[in-house]
C-alpha cells in the first residue's frame, strides 16, 4: 500500500515537472499565411544534449524531382540517392548560403545513370556530417531542387500545414529557436526564448514559398 502511495505521488509530481517543457512554434510566411515545411530547431543553452543517432535515408530522383523534396536527418547519417528515371541525373549538394557568402566546406557531386528496365535503379550515397542545410540540384535539369537538413539537436521538427510544430521534453530555461526553409533567400534571425511548461513562439518571416508543381 505504501509503494502504491509513493507511485501515486510520483505521478502527481512528474507531468508538470520543472525539468522539461513543451515548445509550440508557429511559422508564418511573408503574406501571413502558415509556412509549411519550415525546419524548426530548439537548442537549449544548458549542457549539450546527446546528438540523435544517425539514421539512413533514401531520396529518390523520380519524374524530374527529388522525392521527398525535404529530408531532415541527424548528423552522421548516410543518405542514399536512387534514380528511378530512365535518363541520367546528377546530384549536386551545396551547403551554406551562397547569397550570404557563407559556403561551408561540405558539398558533394554524384553522377547518376538512368534506370535500365529489369535492373535495380542506380544508387549512390554520401554521409552528411555537418549540421545545417544542404541544397540539392541537378546540373542537367535546373528545375530539380531538393534539400537535406542535417541536425545535431534532438529537438527538431518541420512545420505542418498549419505552420506549426510541437517539441516536448525541452529542458526548462534559456534556449535558441532557429527556423530554416528551402525557399528562404536570407537566414531568418534566431530567437532567444525561455522554456517554461508550455512555451508558444510565433515567427513572422519574409519567406514566400514557391508553388509546388
- Check residue 145 for interaction with Cu ion (CB under 5 A): no
- Check residue 78 for interaction with Cu ion (CB under 5 A): no
3 state DSSP class of 7: helix
Interface stretch with Cu ion, choices 46-54, 130-138, 156-164, 177-185 (CB under 5 A): 130-138
The cell numbers describing 158, all together, are: 518541420
- Check residue 60 for interaction with Cu ion (CB under 5 A): no
DSSP 29-47: -TTSSB-TT-EEEEEESSS
From CA 82, how far away is CA 124, in angstroms rounded?
Answer: 7
Closest CA to 105 of 77, 137, 134: 134
Residue 85 beta carbon to Cu ion: minimum distance, rounded to whole angstroms = 8
From 89, 164, 178, 181, residue interacting with Cu ion (rule: CB under 5 A): 89
Contact indicator for 178, 167 with CB cutoff of 8 Å: no
Beta pairing partners, 95: 134
- Check residue 138 for interaction with Cu ion (CB under 5 A): yes
Residue 58 beta carbon to Cu ion: minimum distance, rounded to whole angstroms = 17
3 state DSSP class of 90: strand
- Check residue 141 for interaction with Cu ion (CB under 5 A): yes
- Check residue 109 for interaction with Cu ion (CB under 5 A): no
From 99, 116, 140, 190, residue interacting with Cu ion (rule: CB under 5 A): 140
Interface stretch with Cu ion, choices 75-83, 84-92, 103-111, 155-163 (CB under 5 A): 84-92
- Check residue 115 for interaction with Cu ion (CB under 5 A): no
Closest CA to 36 of 44, 23, 26: 26
Nearer to Cu ion, 48 or 111 (CB): 111
What Å distances lie between residue 195 and 2, 18, 44, 51, CA to CA? 35, 10, 9, 20
Nearer to Cu ion, 63 or 206 (CB): 63
Positions touching Cu ion (CB under 5 A) are: 89, 138, 140-141
Amino acid at each position: 500500500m505504501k509503494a502504491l502511495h509513493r507511485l501515486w505521488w510520483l505521478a502527481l509530481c512528474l507531468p508538470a515537472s520543472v525539468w522539461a517543457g513543451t515548445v509550440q512554434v508557429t511559422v508564418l510566411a511573408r503574406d501571413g499565411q502558415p509556412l509549411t515545411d519550415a525546419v524548426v530547431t530548439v537548442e537549449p543553452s544548458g549542457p549539450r544534449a546527446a546528438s540523435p543517432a544517425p539514421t539512413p535515408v533514401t531520396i529518390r530522383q523520380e519524374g524530374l524531382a527529388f522525392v521527398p523534396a525535404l529530408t531532415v536527418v541527424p548528423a552522421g547519417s548516410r543518405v542514399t540517392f536512387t534514380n528511378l528515371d530512365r535518363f541520367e541525373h546528377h546530384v549536386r549538394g551545396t551547403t551554406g548560403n551562397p547569397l550570404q557568402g557563407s559556403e561551408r566546406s561540405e558539398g558533394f557531386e554524384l553522377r547518376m545513370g538512368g534506370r535500365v528496365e529489369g535492373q535495380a535503379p542506380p544508387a549512390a550515397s554520401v554521409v552528411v556530417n555537418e549540421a545545417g542545410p544542404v541544397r540539392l540540384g541537378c546540373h542537367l535539369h535546373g528545375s530539380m531542387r531538393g534539400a537535406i537538413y542535417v541536425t545535431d539537436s534532438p529537438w527538431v521538427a518541420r512545420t505542418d500545414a498549419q505552420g506549426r510544430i510541437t517539441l516536448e521534453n525541452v529542458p526548462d530555461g534559456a534556449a535558441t529557436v532557429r527556423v530554416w526553409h528551402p525557399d528562404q533567400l536570407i537566414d531568418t534571425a534566431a530567437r532567444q526564448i525561455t522554456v517554461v511548461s508550455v512555451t508558444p513562439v510565433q515567427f513572422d518571416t519574409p519567406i514566400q514559398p514557391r508553388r509546388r508543381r
